[in-house]
Structure 1
Amino acid sequence: MELLHFIVWDPDPSIFSIFGLDVRWYGLMFAVGFLIGQQIMFYLYRQEGKPAQDVETLTIFMVVATIIGARLGHVFFYEPDKYLSDPIQILNIRGGGLASHGAAIGILTALFLYVNYLIRFHKGKFEVKKRKRPGQSYLWVVDKVVIVTAFIGALIRIGNFMNSEIVGMPTQTPEYGVVFGHWLEESIVRNSQGQIVSAEASAEESGRWNERFEAPVLLELEFRKGIDTAAAAQYIRSDIQQMVRYQSRGEAFFTDPGPEPLPYSLQQRSGVVSARVVANGVPRHPTQLYEAASYLFIFFLLFAIWSRYKGRAPEGLLFGIFLVTLFGFRFIWEFMKENQVAFEEGMVLNMGQWLSIPLVLAGVYFILQSLRRKRSEEPPVPSQQKVS
């Protein structure tokens, strides 16, 4: 059987830099998701006759709640000891993690404040006043927000894929897989102390996996001008060998070559030496794309239900469907994902799955309650009297 289906995925997580700050794919997808989501919310509000200007306030609540909730969710659900021992590190979002379960809690809390309180900075003072938003109950707002949340979640997972993070487990199938090559490329250039000016990973021409489901990856290296072939060969046999071994112990995107030297070839043109090195990559499930596809499905499902029924749908129905489907999918995909933190090793279910279970059950509750509420609001069917 020929095992040929895999790709090497190696885009730079940073798109460009401005004023010394990197603009990364994850941040771009996050921002684009909220911008498009806001336009969808404008449409939903206008269609149901609600003040469109409220969407701008609602967007601010959602953005702030998502960032704070996702960050604190990671801190308390995944690494409480680390961050509580050094609380200032909680603010280091770039060096830390975000948790979707925490974002969900944060958004639900923020929506409660949005519906029940007027929070603003007015005349130099921060004001908080209790005030109900007319015509916008809590469940009515949540039903609309979950539609755009599913869409935003899909874009965020695409950002994770672009960043080569939250990766899937190694594949055990000959059908397909993704080798994440960026971190090895970056490691080679960064640790070469200027001896290597570029490193590119791609699928080796034969593309044949071995019986251990390892895929040959071609590393094309360009050395700094002035380095001869003898020095380049020595560097590959020592330093490159060690870098691949290090990657296998870290993210395990490549397998440990052991004592066997990596196959390589050299060529020199105009005084510049280039090398072609072959290393065995670990094809993995692109679970980020699995999640993105499932979230897009949920978005279209919720939008279709809303389009069909609009104000006639019982409040809480869309929210319940969202919880059941999104966290149900999340529970399934976690079986294919690498654990995020060390304490999850050896657990039957990881933290993401344990946190998904109560949210799925809550979704079932809201669906049943909304249907029960719908039946209670329907006028009774008049009984037919027999005429003698």
Structure 2
Amino acid sequence: MLSYIVWSPKPYIVDLGFTELRWYGLLFALGFIISQQVMFYIFKKEGKKEKQVEILTLYMVLATIIGARLGHVLFYEPTRYLSNPLDILKIWEGGLASHGGAAGILIALYLFSRKYKHISYLWILDRIVIVVAITGALIRTGNFMNSEIIGEPTDKPYGVVFGREVELRVNYLTSAIEDVEVEKVKRSNLIEGSNESRYEYPVKLQIAFNSKNKLEDVKRFSENQLLDKLQEQSITQHLIVPKDAVFDYNEKGGFIYATTYGNGVPRHAAQLYEAISCVFIFLVLFYLWNKNRSGLADGRLFGIFLIACFGLRFLYEFIKENQVAFEDDLSLNMGQWLSIPLVLAGVYFIFQSLKAENRI
């Protein structure tokens, strides 16, 4: 049984030189590809024209990206983006809000149902939430690969030490650093003099300096500027390295390696919690549709999705780090406030679907 996990993958699959193929982008695209295939199956089973799925996919892709981006701009950082509106287009710098994506999808599906009048708004909503769930699972997995939307610290055995932020910030400290690695170690492997008793979750930090540097310069840099850098809050929220930390040095393969140890800060892998929840929501919704599609009143699946997805989102926010500073002063964070009306809407749609069934 692992007492904690150190997670620090590269956010990209392959570096092509002029650009990178990233996990997040791949998983985001994969979500729409899988969703389209499921919707082909649903349309075929219900006697709808499969060609309409291609138009629906276009609506969904545009609605999700535009809605999620504008949602982040308006809900989380309006001052920043409204003063620099061109930054809104820089989606590669991050900043997508699932609540904004939900709003975009609702608008897009309304327009879709107006275009194809034989497809009712509630009918398409009931079907689209099935695939939205699986797409959400893949997007949250992408967040995990990026080490973003992290959870609060925890002492649970499945806590995750996110080392990527530490590696990035140390790597950019000087051009003399070629690589930085954060990995889990056993207490028995700590170097002599590192005072192993103070490390509950021992983590090794290894920095590779290029061979252009002298060993004396690396030692001086590591025990001064580097140690000072490691005391910054952006790093100590993931890895706590004592101010009197001991470094070990060795030269190998044309590099000088400086190694020290710290105490990892395990956190909830909130992204994976949401991803796993979305998979279960997908399975439940697909089962209900497949078993009862001719007997369920319109709006039932949509209502179940809103309650399950955003109800769980409301709860998960209690163990997640706030995304922006102003949320620290709120009784509930922005994600929770935005989830409440969607959960209430879910209750409304289920109630209305039950009324409709009783009238039949």
TM class, shorter-chain normalised? over 0.9
CA contact (8 A) 1:328 1:360 kept: yes
1:31 partnered with 2:14: no
1:133 partnered with 2:117: yes
Structure 1 residues 115-146: Cα deviation after superposition (integer angstroms, max 9, x where no partner): 103xxxxxxxxxxxxxx432x11111011100
- Counting aligned pairs with the same residue, the percent is 48
Letter in 1 for 2:151: G
Structure 1 residues 240-296: Cα deviation after superposition (integer angstroms, max 9, x where no partner): 2123223x3468222363xx2222211234664223211222111000000001111
1:204 partnered with 2:202: no
Alignment partners' CA distance in 2, 1:43 and 1:60? 17
Alignment partners' CA distance in 2, 1:346 and 1:156? 28
1:254 partnered with 2:235: no
1:323 partnered with 2:309: no
1:165 partnered with 2:148: yes
Structure 1 residues 321-358: Cα deviation after superposition (integer angstroms, max 9, x where no partner): 00000000000100000001111013221010011011
Map 1:217-256 onto structure 2 (within 5 A).
217-246=203-232, 248-249=233-234, 252-255=237-240
* 2:174 alignment partner, one of 188, 192, 195: 192
1:82 partnered with 2:85: no
CA contact (8 A) 1:298 1:322 kept: yes
Shift in alpha-carbon separation, 1:329–1:270, aligned structure 2, 3 A: closer
* 1:343 alignment partner, one of 310, 319, 326: 326
Q: Which has the larger radius of gyration?
A: 1
Structure 1 residues 293-340: Cα deviation after superposition (integer angstroms, max 9, x where no partner): 111110000001011112221110000000000000000100000001
* 1:365 alignment partner, one of 340, 348, 357: 348
Question: Partner of 1:127 in structure 2?
Answer: none
Per-residue deviation at 1:178? 0.8
Per-residue deviation at 1:19? 6.5
SS in 2 for 1:345: helix
1:95 partnered with 2:93: yes
SS in 1 for 2:20: strand
SS in 2 for 1:198: strand
Q: Which moved more, 1:289-298 or 1:212-221?
A: 212-221
Question: Partner of 1:179 in structure 2?
Answer: 161
* 2:63 alignment partner, one of 48, 62, 65: 65
CA contact (8 A) 2:123 2:299 kept: yes
CA contact (8 A) 2:72 2:95 kept: yes
Map 1:285-296 onto structure 2 (within 5 A).
285-296=268-279
SS in 1 for 2:237: coil
Shift in alpha-carbon separation, 1:265–1:4, aligned structure 2, 3 A: farther
Alignment partners' CA distance in 1, 2:91 and 2:214? 43
* 1:113 alignment partner, one of 107, 111, 114: 111
CA contact (8 A) 1:317 1:366 kept: yes
Q: Which moved more, 1:212-221 or 1:359-368?
A: 212-221
Alignment partners' CA distance in 2, 1:59 and 1:214? 49
SS in 1 for 2:293: helix
CA contact (8 A) 2:69 2:96 kept: yes
Letter in 1 for 2:185: E
Letter in 2 for 1:63: V
Per-residue deviation at 1:362? 0.3
Shift in alpha-carbon separation, 1:211–1:338, aligned structure 2, 3 A: farther
SS in 1 for 2:263: strand
Q: What runs of 5+ residues in structure 1 fail to find an aligned partner?
A: 118-131, 378-388
Q: How many residues align?
A: 354
Shift in alpha-carbon separation, 1:174–1:105, aligned structure 2, 3 A: closer
Alignment partners' CA distance in 2, 1:111 and 1:46? 19
Report the TM-score when normalising by structure 1: 0.86
Shift in alpha-carbon separation, 1:304–1:240, aligned structure 2, 3 A: same
Question: Partner of 1:152 in structure 2?
Answer: 135
CA contact (8 A) 1:196 1:221 kept: yes
Letter in 2 for 1:369: Q
Report the TM-score when normalising by structure 2: 0.93
Letter in 2 for 1:254: L
SS in 1 for 2:141: helix
Letter in 2 for 1:188: V
Alignment partners' CA distance in 1, 2:291 and 2:90? 44
Alignment partners' CA distance in 1, 2:322 and 2:339? 15
Q: What runs of 5+ residues in structure 2 fail to find an aligned partner?
A: 191-195
Q: Which moved more, 1:272-281 or 1:305-314?
A: 272-281
SS in 2 for 1:61: helix
SS in 1 for 2:69: helix
